[in-house]
Structure 1
Amino acid sequence: MLSIFVFFTKLHAQELSSPSTDLIKNIESIILKENNFKKDTVISKKRLSYLNKSSNKKSNILYHALLANGFSVFFDRINNRSEHYFLKSIEEAKKLNDPALIIWTQVNYSQYLYYYCQIDKLIPIVLKTMEESNQVNPSEMILPEQTFKFFGWIMSTVEDNSAISFYKKSMQYMEKPSSESAGVLNAIGNCYLRNKDLASAMRYFNQSQAVALKIGDSIRYAKILGDKALVYEKKGNLKDAAHFLKQDISYSQKFKIDKNEMYASILLARILLKLNATTQVEKILARAGKIASSKSYYRSSLKEVIELKLLVLNGKNAEKELLLRRQLKRIEEYLLKTNGNTVLQRSYWLIQKKKYENDTKKIRLQLVQGERMKNIYIVILLLTIILSFITYNSLNKKLKAKKIKLENDRLLFEKMLKDANSDINTYAEYLKNKNKKISILENELEEIKNSNSIYLEDEKGKLQEMLSSHLMTEENWGAFKREFIKQHGDFYNTIIDNFPELKESNLKIIMLQKLDFNNYEMSNLLGVTIDAIKKSKQRLKKKLGDKYDLLFEIIDIK
C-alpha cells in the first residue's frame, strides 16, 4: 500500500514543561490497551467512557483520539465521525500546549489518512509533525518507536534515504527482539533494495528473518520471504524468486493475511509471466483479484491485477479484454482522485522543494555576519530556484504527455458521476411531487366531505380513486428500492449487516429518512397518519435500544 509522509513546516518553538516519564508510560499503556477496537462503536464508547468522564484533560484527549480510531475500524473508510474526533483531539492537545500529545494526535490522524490514501490532506500534517518532533526529546514523546517508524514509511515511499535514519532511530526505543524490530529491519532492507544495494538488502532481510524465527513470528517470516524473492528477481534468478513467493503465499493463506497474499500473488504472477507459465498465472490472479476487489483502498493493486490479466489474454479474447479495459479505466479515474501517480509525483516535488528551501535557510543563517553574506545568499537563492525549476520541469516532462488525456478523463468521470446520481435524485424529486398532489387531493376530499350536496358523491369517488393511485404501492416501492441501492449501496449494506433485526417496514422509514423526507411527507407517501410514522420510529427505537443512536449517526453520514 502506498504511503507518503514528509516534513517541513516552520515550527514556533515553545518552552514547555517536560512531562514525567511515569505519566508518559501510563498514557502509552492506555493507548496500547484500548487501540484494539471491535466493530461495535457502542461498545467502544462504553469502554472508553472512563477517559471521557475523567477530570484530567489528557484523558479526554485520548478519548477523542481512540474513539476516532474506533469509527475508522467500524466504517472501514474515510468518515465524518472519525474526522470530527481526530481533529478534536488535535485541537484539545494544542490548547493544553502539550508537545507530546500534539505530536501523537497528529501522527494518529496521519496514520488514518495514510491508510485510506488521503495523500494531499496528509502531506502538510506530516511535514509539520516531523519538524515538531525535532524540537522534543524522544524520551518525552509518546510511543517514539511507532512515531519514527511511521516517518520512515513516509520517507521510504518518496524514496528518500532519510527513511533509513528514521527506522534506525525507532529501533533505539523498541523492545528487541520483537515483531516490531523484525519489521523495521525488514523495512531497512527494502530501502537498500530500492537503492539497488542488493548485498545490504539481503543482509537486513536475513537479520529480520533470524529475529522472526527466534520469536516465532510466522507472519513476519512470510513477508520476509516475499521481500527476499525480489532480491533473487533482480539477480535474474526467477525460479528461486518464484519459490520464495509461493512460500510467502502459503504462509499468508495459513494465517489469513489477505493483504500480504495479494501483494505476493501479484509479484509471483509477474515472475511466472517471464517464465511463460501462463496457466498458473490465471489461477493466481483470480485469487489476487478477489482480494483486491474487497476493499476500495486496494484499487491500486486491483489495477495491477487487471493489467496482468490483459497481458495473459494478449488479444485472445476480445470481449473479455474489452470488459477488463473498461474496468481498468474506471479504476484509473478513481486513483486520480486519491493516491494516483500524479498525486504522488506532485507530493514528491513538494518534498524536494521544501528540502532545498530548508538547506538554503540553514546556509543563510550560518552566514549572517560578514560582507560576503549578500552575494552568497543571492547564489544560494538562485541555486534554490534553479533546482526547484529543474525538479518541476523534470516532473512536467513526465506528465506533459498525459496532461490533456487526464483532464478529459476527469471531465468524463464527473459526468459519469452526475449521470449515476441523477436516477435516485430524480426519483426522490418525483416522490416529493407526489406528496404535493396527495395534499391537494386530500384537501379537495375534505371539502367534499363537509358538503351536503349529493351531486358531489360521484366526484368524491373519482378523487378517492386518484388518491389511492398516488400512494406508494409495493410495485412502486420495489422500483424505488432498486434505484436507492444503486446510489446508496454502501449505506444499505451497512444497515443490513449491522441491524439484521430490521423489517421491510423499518427499512422504508430509514431509506426515506436518508433522503431527508419529513414525517408529514412519509405519511402522505405511505398512506398512513403522521402519528403512525412517529409510533413506527418509537417502536424502532425500543427495538434497537443503544444501537438506535448509531443507526442515525450512519444515516446522517453523507
Structure 2
Amino acid sequence: MIFCTKKATLFFVLYAFVFFTKLHARELSSSSDLIKNIESIILKEKNTKKDTIALKKRLSYLKESSNKKSHILYDALLANGFSTFFDKTNKRSEYYFLKSIEEAKKHNDPALLIWTQLNYSQYLYYYCQIDKLIPIVLETMEESNKIDPLDMILPQETFKFFGWIMSTVEDDSAINFYKKSMQYLTKPSSESAGVLNAIGNCYLRNKDLSNAMRYLNESEAVALKIGDSIRYAKILGDKALIYEKKGNLKAASDLLKQDISYSKKFKIDRNEMYASILFAKILLKLKDTAQLEKILDRAGEIASSKSYYRSSLKEVIELKLIILNGKNSAKELILRRQLKLIEEYLLKTDGNTVLQRSYWLVQKKKHDDNTRKIQLQLEQEASMKKIYIIILLLTIVLSFTTYHSLNKRLISKKIKLENDKLFFEKMLKDANSNIDTYAEYLKNKNKKISILENELNELKNFSSENIQDENGKLQEILNSHLMTDENWGAFKRAFIKQHGDFYNTIIENFPELKESNLKIIMLQKLDFNNYEMSNLLGVTIDAIKKSKQRLKKKLGDKYDLLFEIIDNR
C-alpha cells in the first residue's frame, strides 16, 4: 500500500513538471510569435480593395478581441481602407490613424507606436502632405533608436521608408537607412529589388554614376530572377537618367521607350507618366519634336487624374510652353493660368518650397541633436562653459543662416504668387457662396411655409365665404413656396458645383438611387432636419421618415457606407 502511494505521488510530480514545462514553452513561443502574427495580419491587408464594409467584416475579429493591441491594429488598418476608398486625404482616415497612434502611446508599446506612426506617415507621403509628414517621421526615427530592430514590426519596411523620406529631402543618411533595410531582406524579392533600386538612385543624385549603375544592375538582376516586370520597367527609366548624364541621349531614349512600353502593358500609370516626361525632355534636347505633343498629352492626362500628381502636371505644362515658344498666344495664356494655380497648390503641399522647408527642418533637427550632445559633455566639465557658449551660438547662427538662405531663394517666387493667390481665393469664395446662399434661401422658405400653415389652420375654424376665399389664396401662396421641378433643377446644379466630388461618389457607388432618394440625401448633406425637408418638399414628416426607411431597406449593408460618405465633410 505504501509502495503504491509513493508510485502515485511520483507520477503526479512528473506529470505536473511536464505540464508546467509545456505551458511555459507555449507562453514563450506565443510571446516570440506575436510580432510575426501582427506582421502577417498587416501584410495580408496591404493591398485592400475599395470596400470598407467588407474590410470591417474581415477585421471584426480584431475589434471583438479582448486584446488591446488588436483594437489598435483594427483602427490603423481601417484608416488604410478609407484612404484606398476615397483615394485622397480624408477625415475618416485621419481620425483612425491618429486614434491608433494615441492608443499605442497609452498601451506603452514601442513597436506598435513606431508602426502606427509609420503607417500614418506612408499615407501622408503618398498624398504629398510633406509639411505634416516630416515632424512625425523625425519623431518615429527617434523612437526607433530606443528599441532593438528585431523587436520592431516589419523593420525592413521601417528602414526603407526612412530612406525614402531622407532621399526626398536630399539627406545623405538615406543610403544608410536603405542598407539597414537590406539586412532584413535576406531573400530575393520585389522589396529587395526596390531597395537596391533606391540605393542606386541615391548615388545617382550624388553624381556617383559608377555606384549608381552598380546598384541598378543588382536591382535589375533580382527583378528578372523573380519575374518582377514592373520593377524592371522602373529600373530602365533610372538607367536612362545615367545615360543622359553621360551624354548618351540615344541610349537614354531607347531605354525610356522600353520603360513606357512596359508601363503601358502592365498599366503602371504613374511610372508611364514619369518616363514620358523624361522622354519628352530628352527629345527636346535631340530636337525631335514630331512625337512630343502626343507624349506630353498622355503624360498630362495621367497627371490630371490625381491631385497628388500635380508636380508632374506642372512639368508637363512647362514643357508644352517651351514647345509653343510664343507660336499660339491664346493657348499659351491658358497654360500659364493653369501653371499659376498649380504652383499655388504646390506651394502648400509637395512643391520645392515645402521640400526646402522640410530639408531645413531635418537639418535643424540634426543641429538640435548635436547641441544636446555637446551640452551633455560640457555639463560634466564646468571649466569648458565658454566653449559651450561659443558652440551653441555657432549652432544657432548656422541654423539661422541655413533657414535664411533657403528663404532668400523663395522670396521672389512668393511675391509673384501672392496676387494670384488672392485672386484665386476670391474666385473660390464666390463659387462656394452659391450653395450656401441657396441653402439659406431654402431655410427662409421653410420659415415662410410654417407661418402660412399656421394661418391656414386658423382659417379652417371659420366657415364664411370671404374667409374661405382668403383660405384659397393662402393655399396658392403656400404651394408656390414648395420645391418645384424647376427649383429642384437650379438647386441641384448649385449643389453639384460645390459638392461635385460628393455627388460623383454617391452616383458611382449607389447607381440604384432614384431622384427622390437624391433629394433626401442632398438635403441631409446640407444639415436639413426631417421637419425642414417635409416643409420644403410638401410632404409630411412621416413621409420623410418612411422614405429614409425604404432607402435603408433598399441599400442593406451599403446604408452605413452612404452615411459615412455624407458625414465625411
Q: TM-score, normalised by structure 1?
A: 0.95
Pick which of 258-267 and 448-457 moved more. Answer: 448-457
Query: Residue in 2 aligned with 1:80?
Result: 91
CA distance in structure 1 between the partners assigned to 2:409 and 2:271 by the alignment: 31
CA distance in structure 2 between the partners assigned to 1:260 and 1:166 by the alignment: 24
Counterpart mapping for 1:285-300 below 5 A: 285-300=296-311
Counterpart mapping for 1:98-497 below 5 A: 98-370=109-381, 372-497=383-508
Q: Is the 8 A contact 1:523 1:533 kept in 2?
A: yes
CA distance in structure 2 between the partners assigned to 1:530 and 1:193 by the alignment: 68
Change (3 A) 1:140 1:19: farther
Which amino acid is the alignment partner of residue 299 of structure 1? R
Query: Residue in 2 aligned with 1:13?
Result: none
- 1:494 shift after superposition: 0.6
Secondary structure in 2 matching 1:278: coil
CA distance in structure 1 between the partners assigned to 2:83 and 2:362 by the alignment: 28
Pick which of 156-165 and 274-283 moved more. Answer: 274-283
* CA RMSD, 1 decimal: 1.6
Aligned residues: 542
The counterpart of 1:514, out of the listed 515, 520, 525, is 525
Q: Is the 8 A contact 1:333 1:413 kept in 2?
A: no
Which amino acid is the alignment partner of residue 141 of structure 2? M
CA distance in structure 1 between the partners assigned to 2:457 and 2:381 by the alignment: 95
Change (3 A) 1:19 1:376: farther
1:227-269, Cα deviation, whole Å (9 max, x unpaired) = 0000111111111111111110000000000010011111111
CA distance in structure 2 between the partners assigned to 1:20 and 1:298 by the alignment: 43
Q: Is the 8 A contact 2:340 2:417 kept in 1?
A: no
Q: TM-score, normalised by structure 2?
A: 0.93
Higher relative contact order (CA 8 A, sep 6+): 1
Unaligned runs of 5+ in 1: 1-16
The counterpart of 1:23, out of the listed 25, 34, 39, is 34
- 1:372 shift after superposition: 4.2
Query: Residue in 2 aligned with 1:44?
Result: 55
Secondary structure in 2 matching 1:279: coil
Which amino acid is the alignment partner of residue 460 of structure 1? N
Q: Is the 8 A contact 1:186 1:204 kept in 2?
A: yes
Larger radius of gyration: 2
- 1:371 shift after superposition: 5.0
Which amino acid is the alignment partner of residue 423 of structure 1? N
Unaligned runs of 5+ in 2: 1-27
CA distance in structure 1 between the partners assigned to 2:335 and 2:35 by the alignment: 52
Matched, 1:54 2:65: yes
1:445-473, Cα deviation, whole Å (9 max, x unpaired) = 22222211111232222222222221111
Q: Is the 8 A contact 1:71 1:82 kept in 2?
A: yes
1:418-460, Cα deviation, whole Å (9 max, x unpaired) = 1110111111111111111222222222222221111123222
Query: Residue in 1 aligned with 2:558?
Result: 547
- 1:19 shift after superposition: 9.5
Q: Identity percentage over the alignment?
A: 82
Matched, 1:91 2:102: yes
